[in-house]
Chain A
Amino acid sequence: MDNVELLSRIQFAFTVAFHYIYPPLSIGLGVCLVFMEGLYLKTGQKVYEELTRFWVNVFALIFGIGVATGIVMEFEFGTNWAVYSRYVGDIFGSALAAEGIFAFALESGFLGILLFGWNRVSPRVHFLSTVLVALGSMFSALWIVVANSWQQTPAGYRIEGEGMHARAVITDFWAMVFNPSSVDRYLHVLIGAFLSGAFLVISVSAWHLLKGRFTDHARKGMRIGLWVAGIASLLQLFTGHRSADVVTHHQPAKLATMEGHFDKLAPADMYLLGWVDAKTQQTTGLKIPGGLSFLVHGDFTKPIPGLNAFNPQDRPTAINFVFQTYHLMVAIGMTLIALTWFGLFMLYRKKLFDTRWLLILFTGSVLLPQVANQVGWYTAEVGRQPWVVYGLLRTSDALSQAVKAEHVMVSLILFTGVYVMLFLLFLYLLNKKIQHGPYVKVEDPETPPSKFNTIAR
């Protein structure tokens, strides 16, 4: 791997991983906001309005950073991956253009009303704007995941041209959109985003309950968050299974990497946790012998192609990394089910709000879906290597010819510096908003903090 490739991959991985902190939070919060404001319209209770306004403030902060870091992603395809852009443009481009024109314009257009329109439009129009922003963000994710899924399981295309001039061109738009993995992966990503937003609401509500502040708001927020997360965590089990199924059929080398399965054709085990030594081709850990074979074929003894069934240059190199990220994601997924349903059970028993240890647990739990979303994508993207478009275009062939290692070094340093600063400021301001809590009483309008924290942003 030469330096340009290494640096470009580091830069892309870093900028996209950083970006991906924010969109799932906005998508998930968007759903919670629809429930909060919907309940306000339905019941007319002031507390729901205050709750909505509070979360709109948090939403604005997250959304703003998501947009700014997202623009970077779009342009990075051209700056660092010019050959890739040319290769996939005919296909990927239409998905990206659809994202911009249908989804992003919708969410960004109505965001202004969501944030600043409280006194300018009627409550119904405001609610409509909230719904449109939430829908826009989900629709955005749809097109991005479609494009990414096409890279995982290309369909509806043919290859035109040869060698360095080859490119994929579209033959069937709907086959491209509904490529074998897009629906399952979209649902998996979307529900992962719901979990991430809902757990932010759960965590902040739990914190306020622990501190005994804004308890009325916190209880209502907790209920909404727990129900969204509870249902989402169960659905995630289903979409996760479906996604794994797609990998089994379309990306066998990735599947073998995820379970550290090397033997050319042997029954494959399923690990709960473990360690892969790629050199000695040994995987050790707690396992269900033949478990993967059972999941795939319903038979513990049926063989599954292992990594050795593939050419060394056609399989991922970071095997233990993919193994670990995959298993961490699964473990967190299971934990979230247990956590949310235990929480809902305690809610039903009317004990939740007084069980301190559980509230403490919930306060910290916000990190779990974040980590799961991140490691899930690491599994998907590192597991796809050495291909950028699976089976068609190698990552090493996709780079910009005009860009030198020192250019990427400069940009990588710039992005690192800016993002570290951005992240610290984000945490500081998020914490400030959370500690401030919902705006309840009318204070002296001359005091700046109240003014800024009440009416949006």
Chain B
Amino acid sequence: MDSFLGIDLPTWWFLLIGALVSGYGILDGFDLGAGALHLFFRKEQSRRIALNAIGPVWDGNEVWLVIGGGALFAAFPLVYGIILSVLYLPFILLLVAIIFRAISIEFRSKEPMKWWRQFWDISYCLSSTSIALLLGLVLGNLIQGMPLNANHEFTGRLLDFINPYAVLIAVTVLSLFMLHGAMYLAMKTEDRLYARMTILINNTSKFFILCFITASMATLIYVPHMQAIFHNHPVLFVLPLTAVLIVLNIRQSIEKRRYLRGFISSSVTIALMLVLFAMGLYPNLVLSNTDPAGHISIYEAASTNKSLRIMLLFAGIGMPLVLTYTVFVFWTFRGKVKPDEISY
């Protein structure tokens, strides 16, 4: 059995990794966004509430990155090695930022001194911002492809990963996470901080829409291979159209102050953007921008069908469990953050 429900196993894993990355983007996206907004809160109390709004869940959210990375390693080992080693510096910086962020959250509340808290607040904000930007930078490079020869060897230079298109995608990811995080915080806060959030949401949504339009145009102009699929299957054009409608829906929800609806819409936006990216990519996983023979398809990179089948079984058992705990933990900590219950 090399396929399951009529879809071959490498494609299943392509879809599953897409789902894991989307899950990661939606979940860690809001706590990274909240972190990137952290310095906009001036008062100690506001910062504590903001931090505790993500307190019990951020660690669980990060697990999705670990699972996504593990799944890529397991299902497409060739690509795992190539993506991580070609984008060596951004990934190393990402790891360092992840460490800084974890310890900032952890250490901040351990001392009452003002300078101590200020230091970790800045470190928390900077590391959250850097993670969002670096993830976007990696995404931008993957969308436009990287210089790989027919043997999949990297032929570019050290700092090639910094280029205008990738930077634009990085800023777009940051703006989306900020908006996403701001709406999450609005759901978890009340009174004055809530009022502050409404202003921030308004501003971040404008920032995001600006980035969204620029990035869409840049992709249309500079990354033609991402649209090939729409020429062949025009019906799929409904997806980018949906994305536009959803983004408009975010604006509308904000105006009506219905932040749950807005939050769901921004979650869908994150997922849809990754779906569009995946459609442009399939059946490849890594694109070469110098030599089409350098593309790496899922079939070339995949582990054996036996291995993929075993892991699909794991995922079939494991993912419902992971979703159950995720829902259970979010349910346990539902509602507004109460300052008297603060732990960070």
Residues of A near any B CB (own CB < 8 A): 60-61, 64-65, 67-69, 71-72, 74-75, 77-94, 96-102, 104-106, 108-113, 115-117, 119-121, 160, 167, 169-171, 173, 400-404, 406-407, 410-411, 414-415, 418, 422, 425, 429, 432, 445, 448-449, 451-452, 455-457
Closest 4 CB pairs of A and B: A89-B77, A93-B74, A82-B81, A78-B84
Q: Which of B146-191 contact A (CB under 8 A)?
A: 153-154, 158
Interface of B is mostly: helix
**Nearest opposing residue in chain B for A73, CB measure:** B95
Knowing A110-B325, A411-B92 are in contact, say whether A97-B70 is a contact too (CB < 8 A). Answer: yes
Known: A78-B83, A100-B63, A425-B107. 15 other contacts (CB 8 A): A71-B95, A91-B307, A93-B311, A100-B70, A100-B71, A105-B63, A105-B321, A112-B59, A112-B329, A113-B56, A402-B153, A418-B99, A422-B99, A452-B343, A455-B341
The reply on B18 being an interface residue by CB < 8 A is no
Among A83, A407, A415, the residue within 8 A (CB) of B158 is A407
Number of A-B residue pairs with CB-CB distance less than 8 Å in the complex they form? 253
A97 lies within 8 A of B74 (CB): yes
Q: Give A160 to B89 CA distance when docked, in angstroms.
A: 32
B residues 34-80 near A (Cβ < 8 Å) are 55-57, 59-60, 62-63, 65-67, 69-71, 73-78, 80
Which of B60, B91, B158, B311 makes the CB contact (< 8 A) with A97? B311
> A68-B98, A89-B77, A97-B311 known; A169 and B70 CB under 8 Å?
no
The reply to whether A452 and B77 contact each other, CB–CB distance below 8 Å, is: no
> Are the C-beta atoms of A78 and B80 separated by less than 8 Å?
yes
Q: Please, which residue of chain A has its CB at the minimum distance from the CB of B106? A: A64
Comparing B215-223, B229-237, B312-320, the segment that makes contact with chain A is B312-320
Given A101-B314, A108-B60, A407-B158, the answer on whether A402 and B88 have CB atoms closer than 8 Å is: yes
Q: Bound state CA distance, A404 and B86, in angstroms?
A: 10
Tell me, rounded to whole Å, the shortest Cβ–Cβ distance linking A216 to chain B.
Answer: 25
User: Which A residues touch B328, using CB under 8 A?
Assistant: 109
Mask of B87-121 contacts with A, CB within 8 angstroms, 1/0: 01101111110111011011101101000000000
Expressed in whole angstroms, the Cα–Cα distance for A121 and B341 within the complex equals 13
A-B contact pairs, 5 of them (CB 8 A): A64-B106, A68-B99, A102-B318, A117-B332, A401-B85
Query: Given the complex of chains A and B, what is the CA–CA distance between A120 and B333 in angstroms?
Result: 8
Residue B310 CB within 8 A of the other chain: yes
In the bound complex, CA of A65 to CA of B328 (Å):
25
Name the one of B55, B60, B78, B100 contacting A86, with C-beta atoms under 8 angstroms.
B78
In this complex, what residue of A is CB-closest to B67? A100
Who on chain A is nearest to B82 by CB? Answer: A82
CB distance from A80 to the nearest CB of B (A): 7
Q: How far is the CA of A298 from the CA of B73 in the complex (A)?
A: 45
Chain B positions near chain A (C-beta within 8 angstroms): 55-57, 59-60, 62-63, 65-67, 69-71, 73-78, 80-86, 88-89, 91-96, 98-100, 102-103, 105-107, 109-110, 112, 153-154, 158, 303-304, 306-307, 310-311, 314-315, 318-319, 321-322, 325-326, 328-329, 332-333, 340-344
Given A82-B84, A97-B70, CB of A169 within 8 Å of CB of B306: yes
Q: Which residue of B lies closest to A132 (CB)?
A: B325
Query: Chain B contacts of A85 at CB under 8 A?
Result: 73, 77, 80-81, 84
Q: Are B55 and A65 in contact (CB under 8 A)?
A: no
Cα A81 to Cα B210 with chains together (Å) = 40
Cα(A406)–Cα(B319), bound, Å: 40
Which residue of chain B has the shortest Cβ distance to A415 in the bound complex?
Answer: B96
Measured CA separation A454–B65 after assembly (Å): 31
Q: Is the CB of B56 within 8 A of A104?
A: no
Q: Could you tell me if A100 and B88 are in contact, using CB atoms closer than 8 angstroms?
A: no
Query: Do A432 and B81 touch (CB < 8 A)?
Result: no
In the complex, what residues of B have CB within 8 A of residue A92's CB? 73-74
Determine which residue in A79, A83, A456 has the highest number of CB atoms from chain B within 10 A of its CB, and name it. A79
Q: CB-CB < 8 A to B88: which residues of A?
A: 79, 400, 402-403, 407, 411
Structural contact, B304 and A457, CB atoms closer than 8 A: no
Q: Do A93 and B67 touch across chains, with their CB atoms under 8 A apart?
A: no
CB closest chain-B residue, reference A164: B151
